[in-house]
Amino acid sequence: MRDTAMLPTRLDLATLAAAYRNGLKPSELFAHLHALAAADTHHAWISLLPEAELLARARALDNQDPASLPLYGVPFAVKDNIDLAGLPTTAGCPDYAYAPADSATVVARLLAAGAIPLGKANLDQFATGLNGTRSPYGACRNALQPDYISGGSSSGSAVAVAAGQVSFSLGTDTAGSGRVPAAFNNLVGLKPTCGLLSTRGVVPACRSLDAVSIFALTAADAAAVFGVARGFDPDDAYSREAQPHGRRFNAGQPFRFGVPRDTQRAFFGDTHNPALFEAAIGRLESLGGTRVELDFGPFLETASLLYGGPWVAERYHAIRDFIEQKPGSVFPVTREITLGGGKASAVEAFDAFYKLKAYKRRCDAAWNEVDLILTPTAGRHPTIAAMQADPIRLNTELGYYTNFMNLLDYAAVAVPAAFRPDGLPFGVTLLAPAHQDGPLLELAARWQHSTALPLGATGQPLPEAAPPASGVPDGMLRVAVCGAHLSGLPLNGQLTQRKARLIGAVRSAPEYRFYALAGGPPLRPGMVRVAEGGASIEMEVWELPASEFGSFVGGIPAPLGIGKVRLEDGSLVCGFICEGAGLEGAEDITHLGSWRRWLASRGGN
């Protein structure tokens, strides 16, 4: 066994990969990690792979090229409502335990990529709760301050990562279970678009709303794991393919973000978090965002449906036979909540479906104003003692900013924001429409590097890492415009109505003649490429969803069309071109090199 002083001091993917390239063997690392996990005092684990089996898995990689597998020798934890062949699945209830013959689809994908699981992580029983105290295996203690809750239900999954025992972990997130523990343990928590990670082999909570979540030390790591774990599963009725996401949040690209109105922000008496959230708003502004205050009422009304409506019946449905036969085996608070789901009627279910449709229409209207929304992840951070004394009310508070997410089919990433004066972490959540997972992770990476906070509870600094890649095409096309579609001119609405955004002002290569065409309104120019005697023309480049491009092109009248325009930097981009026959009666304005300049010369537009 290698001296532990030679082991990596942090387990982010970039550092671990470098250690393997420099000669570290997986068996050396995993002997150390097994000992760490076995000595854990936070109640993070329910079961560990036997050391001999764990080391056998690691030794199988010892003589392989670390570059041969995307997650070569990466340690991870599996929430114990997700099947891992070789260990029982308990869902936090010993009497419910069963031995799965196969690993869940998402686990199998990670194993095939070279990742190695240490074991099964603690959780709020049957994934019912956001606090981490509802487990017969012990209330999971916060990785930074053990008297405080870890957050749940994916409690052990978060604590194992924060404590430096694994590089990443799998949780589930139906109501906030992948975001609240991330915030309370200073981690990145990806709540992906529902269906992008298969839930086959996962004990359901609310099957129609469940999502497998990822906890990681960095946004780049979460993106890498997501890229491996994602994929359509024909054996999961709720699985779906990732769709083009439609935008990016790269540096230098402005965006608009929504925040709840000040009167709709809830911190439940906490005195530190309001100022920390305001500082988080300022940080997002420094990354290129413009804040827009939104009416958060529809989101809160949606959130009230999750436990105040018939979706609790899905929790009852998932374990109906077990809880009816062995009610005493279920944690008291979990039993009370779950049995309540058996009382919902079909009429109440349809009432709730109709309300949800109406709420979603109102909530989705926000995407006409903003590109993403920023909220606190949780209003306050209770102690374990306080949570156990008042389990229902305090757990409800924890869902204030999270319960609406899957009902509305949104994607979200929880990110660390600051440390409070009392040493507890404070986190925020970035959320956007479905399939925006990649852009959110890109922004989360920029956010994380702007905070320079340490990793989890390890005290280790954030590593330098390449920006995460989503692996999913963005589905956007760029088009260069030179006339009435320019910003502020009469036809610009044909772009903005199709959710296009301005990339920037450019110039064409000096190989075009420029004309003011006859006819109108609106007045229109024509660019014609020539072998000699051309000039550089002022243009703008806009980006719009590929799904909108056909209707945009379909509205362009002859003699104009869309072809390829060469820009000053030599690149080619879709742009307006003009048929030669359309130049009859046109005025040559090449010497001006600008449509705006020609408009000004004639006194208007």
Cα gap 509→536, rounded to integer Å? 5
Cα gap 270→426, rounded to integer Å? 12
Using DSSP, state whether 146 is helix, strand or coil. coil
**What integer pLDDT is reported at residue 1 of this predicted model?**
43
| Percent of the chain's residues with pLDDT above 70 | 98
**What integer pLDDT is reported at residue 470 of this predicted model?**
65
| Model confidence pLDDT, tens digit, residues 277-320 | 999 999 999 999 999 999 999 999 999 999 887 889 999 999 99
How much is the average pLDDT of 452-480? Answer: 85
DSSP label of 202: B
**What integer pLDDT is reported at residue 344 of this predicted model?**
84
Q: Would the pTM of this model clear 0.85, i.e. be above it?
A: yes
- Chain CA centroid to CA 67, Å: 27
Contact 376, 402 (CB under 8 A): no
Which residues have a Cβ under 8 Å from the Cβ of 191 and sit 6 or more positions away? 173, 178, 179, 211, 213, 405, 406, 411, 412, 413, 414
Which residues have a Cβ under 8 Å from the Cβ of 5 and sit 6 or more positions away? none
At 444, phi and psi to the nearest 5?
-60, -35
Contact 153, 191 (CB under 8 A): no
Contact 285, 318 (CB under 8 A): no
Nearest CA-CA partner of 163 in 176, 150, 173, 172: 150
The verdict on domain 476-601 having CATH code 3.10.490.10 is yes
Mean pLDDT over the full length of the chain? 94
Contact 261, 223 (CB under 8 A): no
| Model confidence pLDDT, tens digit, residues 576-601 | 989 888 899 999 999 999 999 999 99
Nearest CA-CA partner of 33 in 148, 169, 152, 153: 169
**What integer pLDDT is reported at residue 252 of this predicted model?**
79
At 553, phi and psi to the nearest 5?
-65, -35
Q: Please, is 383 exposed, middle or buried when counting C-beta atoms within 10 Å of its C-beta (0-12, 13-18, 19+)? A: middle
How much is the average pLDDT of 371-383? Answer: 98
Contact 511, 567 (CB under 8 A): no
**What integer pLDDT is reported at residue 131 of this predicted model?**
97
Nearest CA-CA partner of 79 in 8, 186, 161: 161
Cα gap 506→480, rounded to integer Å? 9
Contact 191, 411 (CB under 8 A): yes
- Helix (H), strand (E) at residue 481: strand 476-481
Using DSSP, state whether 513 is helix, strand or coil. strand
SS (H, E, C) 411-465: EEEEEEEEECCCCCEEEEEEEEECCCHHHHHHHHHHHHHHHCCCECCCCECCCCC
| Model confidence pLDDT, tens digit, residues 321-345 | 999 999 999 989 899 889 888 888 8
| Model confidence pLDDT, tens digit, residues 79-90 | 999 999 999 999
At residue 432's C-alpha, the angle toward residues 542 and 206, to 5°, is 150
| Model confidence pLDDT, tens digit, residues 124-145 | 999 999 999 999 999 999 999 9
**What integer pLDDT is reported at residue 244 of this predicted model?**
81
Contact 19, 8 (CB under 8 A): yes
SS (H, E, C) 334-400: HHHHHHHHHHCCHHHHHHHHHHHHHHHHHHHHHHHCCCEEEEECCCCCCEHHHHHHCHHHHHHHHCC
Using DSSP, state whether 501 is helix, strand or coil. strand
pLDDT band at 547 (very low <50, low <70, confident <90, very high): confident
**What integer pLDDT is reported at residue 166 of this predicted model?**
98
| Strand partners for 578 | 560
How much is the average pLDDT of 102-129? Answer: 98
| Strand partners for 539 | 506
At residue 485's C-alpha, the angle toward residues 480 and 491, to 5°, is 155
Query: Between the ranges 471-480, 488-497, 546-555, where is the mean pLDDT highest?
Result: 488-497
Q: Is the pLDDT of residue 510 over 80?
A: yes
| Model confidence pLDDT, tens digit, residues 404-460 | 999 999 999 999 999 999 999 999 999 999 999 999 999 999 999 999 999 999 999
- Strand bridging mode 116-121 / 188-191: unpaired
Cα gap 229→212, rounded to integer Å? 10
At residue 496's C-alpha, the angle toward residues 599 and 592, to 5°, is 20
Q: Domain 4-297+372-451 is of which CATH architecture?
A: Alpha-Beta Complex (3.90)
Domain boundaries in the chain? Answer: 4-297+372-451, 476-601
Q: Is the pLDDT of residue 2 over 70?
A: no
At 572, phi and psi to the nearest 5?
-110, 140
Q: Is the pLDDT of residue 58 over 70?
A: yes
More confident residue, 18 or 465: 18
Q: Is the pLDDT of residue 3 over 60?
A: no
| Strand partners for 526 | 515
Residues belonging to the active site: 79, 153, 177
